[in-house]
Structure formats: C-alpha cells, structure tokens
C-alpha cells in the first residue's frame, strides 16, 4: 500500500543548510508536498512539486525529486531559529477518489543558535 | 483573518460523552476533510466531502460521523467518545483539481478521559 517515510529528527546550527528527506512507495503519485507545523499550530503548506519535475526552488527552499528512487528532499538554506518545527512530506494519487494526502510521520527540525 | 477556523481549540471530555468539532472556511473551496493526528504519526483521513450533502468515509471513520451543513461548514461528531480518540483533529479544504493543495485549520486538541 501507500507509505511515506521520514527520519524523525534533525538538528542543525543556525545559518547552516538543512536537508529533510522523505521516501514514498506510490509510483502513481502526481504531486508531492512539504508542510510545516509549528507548536500549537496547524499545518502550513510550504511548497509542492509535480511529479514531472526534478527540482523546484522557492526563496530559501529547494525541493528535489528523484522519481526512480521515490525520494523527495527539502533543503532549507541559511536555516533560522524560526524554522524550528515539524516538517511533513505528503503525496497524493489522482487514482484515489478521496484525493486524500498521505503523510509521513514528520521530521522535527531543531535549529541551534 | 484565518481562512480555515476550528472550534473549540481545546476540549477535555469524559468517556461516553457526545462531542462535536466544527470547521468553517472562507476560502470558497468545495472540498473539505477531517484528519486525525496522533503523537509521532502523520495525519490520517477520517471523512471527506466534495460538496454539500456529499459525505465519504476515510480510512479511520469508525466511531465518527460528519455533517456538511453548507459549503463553508463541515462538522465532526464523536457520538460516544472513548479514550483512544484522544488526538489532535484537523480540518482541511481544497479546490477541485489535480493539484489538491490542502489548507489546514489550526486544529482541535481533544482529550477523552
């Protein structure tokens, strides 16, 4: 079945780059997403990538997609303390009539001053 | 102003009580979803609706019911709450279309004693 996996924790120093990784199993996925969840808040859509793209850049965020390996990554350049949060990778499969998002369990990013 | 709002934000209740969680949106989206988040896990779909009067079960609908009273409102009910329904509940909305960007409310933290 569908599955999305992420590492649980990442710690980086302020100013360094962060790379959060995600693997997925559903080769029919069309869109893949990165969401950010800050403490006590809902999920904020950061960016998404369509499956026919290899890379997408949006300011400090770079998404890389390797369809062959079913691997997705989110790179945050010049990481700031305000980037500390849980980051969720998610996918959607248009063959699923619910259009639900399948989420990973989230990666907690801790940015040290 | 928040586009997707949820009430209440926090609720503590006892086993066997009936609870209703409410979601309202001002985004004009047709699709609405209820997800549940448990510690260390991603979000799982409870119910979804693509239009008023359209109700569909998600992957974990047992013990829950929903009502789509209007395009902008989608409520989730627990008819007889049990402790393993203690979780964070999120409402989400999206427009019709393949990109399926979902926008989340701030969440309701429910504790069932």
pLDDT value of residue A26:
79
Pairing of strands B43-49, A107-112: unpaired
CB B13 within 8 A of CB B108: no
pLDDT value of residue A27:
74
Q: Apex CA B41: angle with CA A82 and CA A28, to 5°?
A: 100
B-chain residue closest to A106, CA distance: B42
Nearest-CA neighbor of B8 among B26, B27, B29, B22?
B22
Does B100 contact A103 at a Cβ distance shorter than 8 Å? no
- The shortest CB-CB distance from B98 to any of A33, A94, A102 is to A94
Does A43 contact B33 at a Cβ distance shorter than 8 Å? no
pLDDT value of residue B84:
95
Chain A closest CA to B18's CA: distance in Å? 24
Question: Consecutive 10-residue runs of chain B (113 residues): their mean pLDDT?
Answer: 88 96 95 92 91 92 95 96 96 85 93 97
Q: What is the maximum span of chain A, computed from C-alpha positions, in angstroms?
A: 45
Interface of B with A in 51-80 (CB under 8 A): 56, 58-59
Whether residue B40 lies within 8 A of chain A, CB to CB, comes out as yes
Burial class (CB in 10 A: 0-12, 13-18, 19+), A10: middle
pLDDT value of residue A98:
78
At B108, phi and psi to the nearest 5?
A: -125, 125
pLDDT value of residue A96:
79
Those residues whose C-beta lies under 8 Å from the C-beta of residue A64, and which sit 6 or more positions away, are: A54, A55, A72, A73, A75
Low-confidence ranges of chain A (pLDDT < 50): none
> What is the C-alpha separation between A37 and A84, in angstroms, rounded?
9
Chain B closest CA to A93's CA: distance in Å? 9
A-chain residue closest to B93, CA distance: A100
| Mutation for B interface: A99, A102, A106, A108, most B CBs within 10 A | A99
Taking CA atoms, A79 is separated from A16, A112, B46, B69, B71, in Å, by 6, 10, 35, 43, 39
pLDDT value of residue A111:
97
| Mutation for A interface: B58, B99, B100, most A CBs within 10 A | B100
pLDDT value of residue A1:
57
Which chain A residues are within 8 Å of B103, Cβ to Cβ? 45
CB B58 within 8 A of CB B47: yes
CB B91 within 8 A of CB B75: no
Nearest-CA neighbor of A87 among A57, A40, A46?
A46
CB atoms closer than 10 angstroms to residue A98: 17
ω into B24 cis (within 30 of 0): no
pLDDT value of residue B97:
76
Pairing of strands B43-49, B73-78: unpaired
- The shortest CB-CB distance from A99 to any of B31, B40, B90 is to B31
């Amino acid at each position: 079945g569908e599955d999305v996996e992420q590492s649980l924790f990442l710690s980086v120093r302020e100013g360094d780059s962060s790379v959060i990784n995600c693997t997925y199993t559903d080769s029919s996925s069309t869109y893949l997403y990165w969401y950010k969840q800050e403490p006590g808040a809902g999920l904020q859509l950061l960016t998404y990538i369509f499956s026919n793209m290899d890379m997408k850049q949006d300011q400090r965020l770079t998404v890389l997609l390797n369809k062959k390996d079913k691997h997705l990554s989110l790179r945050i350049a010049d990481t700031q303390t305000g980037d500390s949060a849980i980051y969720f990778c998610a996918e959607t499969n248009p063959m699923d009539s619910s259009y639900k998002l399948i989420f990973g369990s989230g990666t907690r990013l801790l940015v040290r001053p | 102003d928040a586009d997707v709002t949820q009430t209440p934000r926090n609720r503590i209740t006892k086993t066997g009580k009936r609870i209703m969680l409410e979601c309202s949106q001002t985004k004009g989206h047709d699709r609405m979803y209820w997800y549940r988040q448990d510690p260390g896990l991603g979000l799982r779909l409870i119910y979804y609706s693509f239009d008023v009067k359209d109700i569909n079960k998600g992957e974990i609908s047992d013990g829950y019911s929903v009502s789509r009273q209007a395009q902008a409102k989608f409520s989730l009910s627990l008819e007889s709450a049990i402790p393993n329904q203690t979780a964070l509940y999120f409402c989400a909305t999206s427009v019709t279309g393949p990109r399926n960007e979902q926008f989340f409310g701030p969440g309701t933290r429910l504790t069932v004693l």
